[in-house]
């Protein structure tokens, strides 16, 4: 019962329904005990004595008892239903809330299919037990106790003899419980593995098909399906072995009752009516014992399910607010970011970042460059406080981010990831995600800045087009542009572009960056990019290799040093040259010239773009948005 003790806070507030269900069932069971007594009266007082005048009254009494019992059963059903559904609601709410606050570290390991199975099948099992199963077990106890007491009042000897087989029944039932509980746990585990496999297959269907791995996936699923089947077979075998034994011991009681009871009637120790009443009452005792397997099964299943729910509910939250955490006020935050001697390793891994130092004054642009796995995204993850830093510290305006209230810290930041997640909602809602009271004009302006407006307008329903869970129907670049619009609309003090333009073509990237120049003003901006053209305007570019800073400086400074930056520049430049002959050469030459040009001149040129001119002349642009963009 430990599991249910720990789940108390979710069903105890609904205890009024629990008590009402118990009382209703108690009364219904008590009324059920009237039948054997009516039978006894019918045989001993009416049939034996040939007093048939009382039969209509007896029949009427039966009708009344049946009706009232029915009403109590109805009450029990309704209150149990309330208890079950309210408990499920409370649990679902708590689980969902917990999932919101669990840290990135948890999600690094968590499997969606497994979580989904806990939130559905396991929750259902707990709901059914608390709402119905528990009351049924109490009913078993009532029926056994009341039935035994009534039989005792008729003949204690007969009762005790009838009970001889019961300890065997109880022993078998307990052994059955010991075997069936681990078997059910295995079933749940294999069920969750099977669900995970289906879920991953559906999510990654494009990868599976493009690698022609259908057969492999079918085999993989067949193995999990087989495990699930085997576990069910094992459980059925346990059931098959124990259930007949329980049935045997239960029926042995009836045989004893009829044999010994018949002898007692002949002996005139009890009347025929009393034997018939005992025969009726024995089912009050055997019935619950008969069902004990089902209740044990139900209980063990829900206990296993409850354990899995508690695992989520008790899951340690790695990143959380301290007591008296400092709430960052968006009006006061300037966005001065500092990393001081930060060394960080993901659990059970080599350090992803080593002795990392960075001073990004408010409004500065920091570029991060490096090969895959060099630690660029880790810098951003740590700034977001997705993980706690244990060595060194990160500050925003001098406040250690571990002391800042998490929500207020993340509200100061907007991040555009390389992989864009779009919710299954309209494009408008996707752009306005996380911002309250935003006007359509602001959404459109942000979309224009992100170069998303034109393609959105070409969609049949424009901004009201519903995009799928993974933005189905949109290209990678289009999704990225929506993500950029979403970030711009948030008006963050710290803007993070994590390879945010990797999926758009060079031309669009160039256009977006010209607009971003304007947007970045007044915000501390972190740009992770593989293309040097995306970083060249940064105030400081940090080049990482295996978690260590290997070069830092401005584009101009780094271009004068031999090192990975210049090497990367040359490779990218050479790529451009080799693409398509003369035309590319011209473009590359232009590109190089442009790269080396004075960045101020570029910014000035960029500010001449049509969109911006429109924006600042357009009287419809709300002052809020102008402020947001400046």
Ligand X SMILES: Nc1ncnc2c1ncn2[C@@H]1O[C@H](COP(=O)(O)OP(=O)(O)OP(=O)(O)O)[C@@H](O)[C@H]1O
State the nearest-atom distance from the C-beta of 334 to ligand X, in Å.
26
Q: Which is nearer to ligand X, 40 or 376 (CB)?
A: 376
In the complex, the smallest distance separating the C-beta of residue 596 from ligand X, rounded to whole angstroms, is: 26
Query: Minimum Å distance from CB 391 to ligand X?
Result: 15
Q: Which stretch binds ligand X (CB under 6 A): 177-185, 248-256, 261-269, 344-352?
A: 344-352
Angle CA 558–563–569, to nearest 5: 65
In the bound state with ligand X, the residue whose beta carbon lies nearer, of 18 and 352, is 352
Closer residue to ligand X (CB): 87 or 533: 533
Minimum CB distance to ligand X smaller for 253 or for 377: 377
How many residues touch ligand X under the rule CB under 6 A: the total is 12
- Structure tokens, 270: 């009890």
In degrees, rounded to 5, the angle at the alpha carbon of residue 441 between the alpha carbons of residues 435 and 446 is 65
551 touching ligand X, by CB under 6 A:
no
Select the residue interacting with ligand X from 305, 352, 396, 588 (CB under 6 A): 352
Task: Report the nearest approach of ligand X to the CB of residue 381 (Å).
Answer: 7
- Tell me if 335 sits within 8 A of 523, measured CB to CB: yes
CB of 372 to ligand X, least distance (A): 3
- 91-150 residues near ligand X, rule: CB under 6 A: 108
Least Cα distance to 422 among 384, 373, 456, 445 occurs for: 456
* 426, 463 Cβ separation under 8 angstroms: yes
Measured from the CB atom, the residue of 376 and 385 that comes closer to ligand X is: 376
Least Cβ distance, residue 376 to ligand X (angstroms): 4
d(C-alpha 516, C-alpha 617), whole Å: 19
Burial pattern 343-354, b for ≥16 Cβ within 10 A else e, equals ebbeeeeebbbb
- CB nearer to ligand X: pick between 43 and 528: 528
Count how many Cα atoms sit within 13 Å of the Cα of residue 93 in the half-sphere of its side chain. 9
Closest approach of ligand X to the CB of residue 441, in Å: 35
Percentages of the chain per state (helix, strand, coil), in multiples of 5:
65, 10, 25
Contact 101, 320 (CB under 8 A): yes
Nearest to 382 by CA among 418, 361, 408, 413: 413
Let me know: does 608 contact 428? Beta carbons within 8 Å.
no
Question: Residue 495 CB, nearest distance to ligand X (Å)?
Answer: 17
Q: Which is nearer to ligand X, 376 or 537 (CB)?
A: 376
Q: Compute the distance between CA of residue 602 and CA of residue 593 in angstroms, rounded to an integer.
A: 11
At closest approach, how far in Å is the CB of 350 from ligand X? Answer: 7
Tell the smallest beta-carbon distance from residue 595 to ligand X (Å).
Answer: 22
Number of H helices, E strands in the chain: 27, 12
CB of 607 to ligand X, least distance (A): 31
Tell me the DSSP string of 46-113: IITTT-GGGHHHHHHHHHHHHHHHHHHHHHHHHHHHHHHHHHHHHHHHHHHHHHHHS-HHHHHH--HH
Q: Is 385 helix (H, G, I), strand (E, B) or coil?
A: coil
Q: How far is CA 110 from CA 97, 194, 196, 437, 469, in A?
A: 16, 15, 10, 34, 19
Residue 571: CB minimum distance to ligand X, A: 16
Candidate list 349, 436, 617, 620; residue touching ligand X; CB under 6 A: 349
Q: Got the DSSP string for 484-496? A: HHHHHHT--SEEE
For residues 541 and 369, is the Cβ–Cβ distance under 8 A?
Answer: yes
What is the rounded CA–CA span in Å between residue 174 and residue 168?
Answer: 10
Query: Counting contacts by CB under 6 A, is residue 280 touching ligand X?
Result: no
| Interstrand relation of 391-396 and 425-426 (parallel, antiparallel or unpaired) | unpaired
CA 152 – CA 168 distance, rounded (Å): 21
In the bound state with ligand X, the residue whose beta carbon lies nearer, of 420 and 430, is 420
Nearer to ligand X, 100 or 372 (CB): 372
What is the per-residue binding string for ligand X in 183-202, x denoting contact by CB under 6 A? --------------------
The pair of structure tokens assigned to 101 is: 């606050």
Contacting ligand X within 362-381 (CB under 6 A) = 370, 372-378
Closer to ligand X at the Cβ: 172 or 374?
A: 374
Q: What six digits make up the tokens of 486? A: 């979403």
User: Is 346 one of the binding residues for ligand X (CB under 6 A)?
Assistant: yes
Which x/- pattern over 52-91 shows residues binding ligand X (rule: CB under 6 A)?
Answer: ----------------------------------------
Q: Which residues contact 463 (CB under 8 A, 6 or more apart)?
A: 426, 427, 428, 431, 440, 443, 444, 447, 456
Instruction: Decide whether 309 or 528 has the Cβ nearer to ligand X.
Output: 528
Between residues 137 and 379, which has the closer beta carbon with respect to ligand X? 379
Identity of the residue, 268 or 349, whose beta carbon is nearer to ligand X in the bound complex: 349
For the bound state, the minimum distance from the C-beta of residue 362 to ligand X, rounded and expressed in Å, comes to: 25
CB of 386 to ligand X, least distance (A): 8
- Cβ closest to ligand X, residue 148 vs residue 378: 378
Q: Which residues are at the interface with ligand X (CB under 6 A)?
A: 108, 346, 349, 352, 370, 372-378
């Amino acid at each position: 019962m430990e599991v249910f003790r720990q789940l108390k806070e979710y069903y105890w507030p609904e205890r009024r329904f629990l008590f009402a269900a118990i009382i209703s069932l108690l009364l219904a069971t008590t009324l059920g005990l009237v039948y054997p007594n009516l039978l006894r009266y019918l045989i001993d007082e009416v049939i034996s004595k040939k007093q048939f005048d009382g039969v209509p009254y007896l029949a009427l009494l039966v009708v009344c008892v049946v009706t009232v019992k029915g009403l109590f059963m109805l009450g029990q059903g309704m209150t149990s239903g309330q208890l079950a559904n309210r408990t499920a609601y409370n649990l679902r709410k708590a689980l969902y809330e917990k999932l919101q606050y669990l840290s990135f570290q948890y999600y690094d390991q968590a499997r969606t299919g497994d979580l989904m199975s806990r939130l559905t099948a396991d929750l259902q099992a707990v709901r059914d037990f608390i709402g119905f199963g528990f009351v049924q077990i109490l009913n078993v106890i009532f029926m056994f106790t009341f039935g035994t007491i009534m039989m005792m009042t008729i003949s204690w000897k007969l009762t005790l003899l009838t009970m001889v087989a019961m300890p065997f029944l109880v022993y078998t039932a307990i052994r059955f419980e010991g075997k069936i509980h681990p078997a059910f746990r295995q079933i749940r585990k294999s069920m969750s593995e099977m669900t995970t496999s289906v879920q991953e297959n559906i999510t990654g269907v494009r990868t599976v098909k493009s690698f022609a791995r259908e057969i492999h996936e079918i085999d993989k699923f067949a193995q999990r399906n087989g495990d699930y089947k085997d576990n069910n077979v094992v459980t059925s075998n346990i059931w098959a072995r124990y259930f007949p034994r329980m049935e045997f011991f239960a029926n042995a009681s009836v045989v004893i009752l009829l044999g010994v009871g018949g002898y007692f009637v002949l002996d005139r120790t009890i009347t025929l009516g009393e034997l018939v009443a005992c025969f009726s009452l024995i089912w009050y005792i055997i019935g619950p014992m008969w069902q004990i397997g089902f209740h044990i099964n139900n209980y063990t299943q829900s206990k296993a399910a409850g354990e899995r729910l508690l695992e989520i509910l008790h899951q340690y939250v790695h990143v959380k607010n301290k007591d008296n955490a400092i709430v960052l006020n968006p009006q006061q935050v300037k966005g001065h970011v500092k990393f001081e001697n930060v060394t960080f390793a993901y659990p059970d891994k080599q350090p992803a970042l080593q002795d990392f130092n960075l001073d990004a004054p408010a409004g500065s642009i920091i570029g991060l460059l490096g090969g895959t796995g060099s630690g660029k995204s880790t810098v951003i993850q740590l700034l977001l406080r997705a993980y706690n830093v244990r060595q060194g510290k990160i500050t925003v305006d001098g406040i250690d981010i571990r002391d800042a209230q998490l929500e207020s810290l993340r509200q100061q930041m907007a991040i555009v990831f390389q992989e864009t997640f779009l919710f299954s909602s309209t494009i408008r809602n996707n752009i306005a995600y996380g911002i309250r009271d935003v006007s359509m004009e602001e959404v459109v302006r942000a979309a224009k800045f992100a170069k998303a407006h034109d393609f959105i307008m070409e969609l049949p329903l424009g901004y009201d087009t519903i995009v799928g869970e993974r933005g189905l129907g949109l290209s990678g670049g289009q999704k990225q542009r929506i993500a950029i619009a979403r970030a711009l609309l948030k008006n963050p003090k710290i803007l993070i572009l994590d390879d945010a333009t990797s999926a758009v073509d060079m031309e669009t990237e160039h256009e977006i960056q010209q607009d971003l120049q304007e947007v970045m003003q007044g915000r501390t901006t972190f740009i992770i990019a593989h293309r040097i053209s995306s970083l060249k305007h940064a105030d400081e570019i940090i080049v990482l290799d295996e978690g260590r800073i290997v070069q830092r400086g401005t584009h101009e400074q780094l271009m004068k040093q031999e090192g990975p930056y210049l090497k990367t520049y040359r490779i990218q430049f050479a790529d451009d040259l080799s693409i398509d002959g003369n035309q590319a050469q011209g473009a590359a030459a232009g590109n190089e010239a442009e790269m080396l040009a004075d960045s101020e001149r570029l910014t000035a040129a960029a500010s001449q773009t049509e969109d911006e001119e429109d924006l600042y002349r357009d009287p419809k642009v709300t002052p809020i948005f102008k402020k947001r963009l400046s």
